[in-house]
């Protein structure tokens, strides 16, 4: 990875800043406050989708001021490429019992919506009291499946992004801001 001005150059591809650390932190705080208000009197279970959502999940729950629980499961859809493979695999199961619980699925990004569709089907075998989805990023123009995202951090163009949990070939998740592949 080569840094020039604000740009990142990775294998000849140029990535430019899209969302700063300050913008992300401000929005995550707002989402946390909104969810805390909406779930007042309840004890929701935040369920993060690994690997991408781990940083967002961590910052989000620090902004939740009601009692809550957390769990994770792991999906894979992208492999190592910049485009969705169109297939989803469950790589790690949930450990908690979601029956009768208010669950909030935490995603880093919704692209085609395939992963969320898969998650909805997974949970249709259980009987949670309620299920909502929060995603830091949504690419509205890429959506191919009819899915409802209840809380959205930012709507972004249909371009490949990295940082703040999001990877390219498993790397760059550790960047504290988000960069977009420039065309």
Where along the sequence are the contacts to Mg ion (CB under 5 A)? 49, 52, 108
Q: Does 105 interact with ligand IMP (rule: CB under 6 A)?
A: no
Place of tokens 């150059």: 9
Query: DSSP for 92-155?
Result: E---S--TT-EEEEEEEEESSSHHHHHHHHHHTTS--SEEEEEEEEE-GGG--S----SEEEEE
User: Among candidates 151, 156, 166, which has minimal Cα distance to 51?
Assistant: 166
Nearer to ligand IMP (CB atom), residue 81 or residue 127? 81
Piece of the chain touching ligand IMP by CB under 6 A; list 4-12, 18-26, 55-63, 155-163: 155-163
Piece of the chain touching ligand IMP by CB under 6 A; list 13-21, 27-35, 54-62, 159-167: 159-167
Cα–Cα distance, 38 to 66 (Å, whole number): 10
Q: x/- contact string, 107-126, with ligand IMP (CB under 6 A)?
A: xxxxxxxxx-----------
Q: Is 167 a catalytic residue?
A: no
Tokens of 99: 């029956």
* Residue of 46, 56, 72, 78 interacting with ligand IMP (CB under 6 A): 78
How many of the other CB atoms lie within 10 Å of CB of 158? 11
Q: Does 77 interact with ligand IMP (rule: CB under 6 A)?
A: yes
Tokens of 166: 């999001």
Q: How far is the CB of 41 from Mg ion (least distance, A)?
A: 30
Binding site for ligand IMP (CB under 6 A): 49, 52, 77-78, 84, 107-115, 160-162, 166-167
Catalytic residues: 111
């Amino acid at each position: 990875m080569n840094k020039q001005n604000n740009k990142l150059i990775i294998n000849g591809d140029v990535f430019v800043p899209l969302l700063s650390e300050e913008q992300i932190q401000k929005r995550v705080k707002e989402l946390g406050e909104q969810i805390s208000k909406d779930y007042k009197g309840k004890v929701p279970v935040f369920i993060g989708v690994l690997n991408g959502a781990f940083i967002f999940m961590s910052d989000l729950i620090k902004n939740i001021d009601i009692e809550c629980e957390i769990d994770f499961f792991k999906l894979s859809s992208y492999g190592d490429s910049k485009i969705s493979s169109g297939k989803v695999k469950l790589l790690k199961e949930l450990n908690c019992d979601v029956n009768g619980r208010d669950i909030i699925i935490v995603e880093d990004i919704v692209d085609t919506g395939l992963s969320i569709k898969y998650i909805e089907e997974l949970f249709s075998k259980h009987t949670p009291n309620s299920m909502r989805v929060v995603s830091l990023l949504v690419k509205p123009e890429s959506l191919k499946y009819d899915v409802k995202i209840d809380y959205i951090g930012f709507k972004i163009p249909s371009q490949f992004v990295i940082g703040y949990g999001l990877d390219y070939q498993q790397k760059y998740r550790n960047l504290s801001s988000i960069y977009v592949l420039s065309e």
